[in-house]
Structure 1
Amino acid sequence: MTSGHSTTQRWVVFGAAGMLGQDMVAIAEAVGHHVTGLRRSDLDVTDAAMARAAVEGYDVVVNCAAWTAVDDAETHEAQAFAINGTGAANLARAAAAAGARLVHVSTDYVFDGDGTEPYLEAAPVSPRSAYGRTKAAGEWAVRAESADALVVRTAWLYGAGGRCFPKTIARAAGERDRLSVVDDQTGQPTWTADLADLIVRLVAARVPGGIYHGTSSGQVTWCGFARQVVAASGHPTPVDATTSAAYQLPAPRPAYSVLGHDQLHEVGVEPIGDWAERWNAAAPTVLA
């Protein structure tokens, strides 16, 4: 990873206990910034006054706080909206008032998942799930509050600091004779450390406000990714392909979650490398 270096700034990261938040704090600190990490227990982003007080005195505000339980959001949409929509609006308003730059992390779930070519940053949003609707609302609120804010969409995140697909697959490969994984959903597995590094580089480059896509390059199905994970885990367990229809889940999953990186190229910021190459770099840490 090649983090861009810049003048030392004061950063505050919301959602610092999460998988992305942990790497965000570590990587921003590694390039010399003074970083405060706030967990859910430290601050309620749905409280506008608390949000305002929390961003005071910072140069950069990174919002990794989110309701990410996709299936639970189907039956708790109001609660998900409070964090993903209202919380995002509160932080955007607070950051704008404090003169801080906001980086808001969003998701591929804002799209319908029917695409066949990588989604452009300006493609119309059309979420199919409660989670997607609440995240789309958050994007809208952030952009409405601050033209300077960066909305960074990501997808298929995995990392050392939380529950994630590779850890689940590696554990299952050690416990079962065969695995069965869906082969009709395509996306870009993305390491949280790489996304955190990209966010640091975007801020250092002083890019214009707007929407950017923070995913690995290339594409693969969950089944294809699972086979790479199993290979890295050292288990000889075969992975069979199955379809999404085999799993009845409350929230619909996008069939196609590949995000284009045109805006990164436009502003001269290098996108994250190919997913397979990045997985090889991440595997020893993630599966440790």
Structure 2
Amino acid sequence: MTPTSIDFYTIIPYLILTVWACVLLIVDLFIPRGRKGITAFLAALGLAVSLGYSITQIGLESSGFDGMISLDGFSTFANILLLSSGLFGVALAYGYTQRMGIHRGEYYTLLLFSVTGMMLMAQANDLIIVFLALELLSIPLYVLSAISRKLQSEESGVKYFLLGAFASGFVVYGTALVFGATGSTNLSVIFLQAASGVTSGLLLTIGAALLLVGFGFKVAAAPFHMWTPDVYQGAPTSVTAFMAAGAKIAGFVALFRVFSTAFPAIASDMTDVLWALSALTMIVGNL
């Protein structure tokens, strides 16, 4: 498959962020110690440029990279929310990183990479892309959780990493079972295969359930929320705020897209389960 201009058009907003993050990391090396605050301005500028381009995509629908990336109103709206949360995260971190003596170049670079993963997850139309995006958004957050280099912060980062890897295992195993049942990881193809009735219904249902558990960990839905208090308490305040907004938006967007596109029949059967998880999250998760 040879990428076309249409393929690249669908990913320009987070292509901008990826290049900007790499440039920011290099530019930071040449900024004098007393003027490191300029890195926050540069990070915000990159997010603003990407946000501006995302706004121009409102109302457009397209797909790229052999249907693995989907551009539609839902993903564009999610991208705008995620970029806005990124700008909010930069604003919160500006004074905090200065007071705490945190290396700002690395901080903002990791934040940009995490937002890139969130946006990729919002547009993913393939379970492989969902997993890659999940890791791209999560790995920078593991580092950001421990970036203040205090004992409590480092403990927070390690816990988040271990439980995040555990959740990723559910996503990978669920993806493997879905692929075994349908022969594809593309969400649209999975739907067609399931609708044709030629798949293993039990295998597909178990795979979907494992994906739900993996996403449940990522969005901190009860009873998969055990990591949240320790991680949020130990991570820097600005990182906690960013995780609570951006990571949750990305997780719910991916959950909705995967189940509404690939598993609509299973999703309708799981309505009671989703209601129970929602009630548990609102009650148990806030105790």
TM-score, normalised relative to structure 1 = 0.31
Higher relative contact order (CA 8 A, sep 6+): 1
TM-score, normalised relative to structure 2 = 0.32
Asked which structure has the greater CA Rg, the reply is 2
Greater helix share, structure number: 2
Greater strand share, structure number: 1
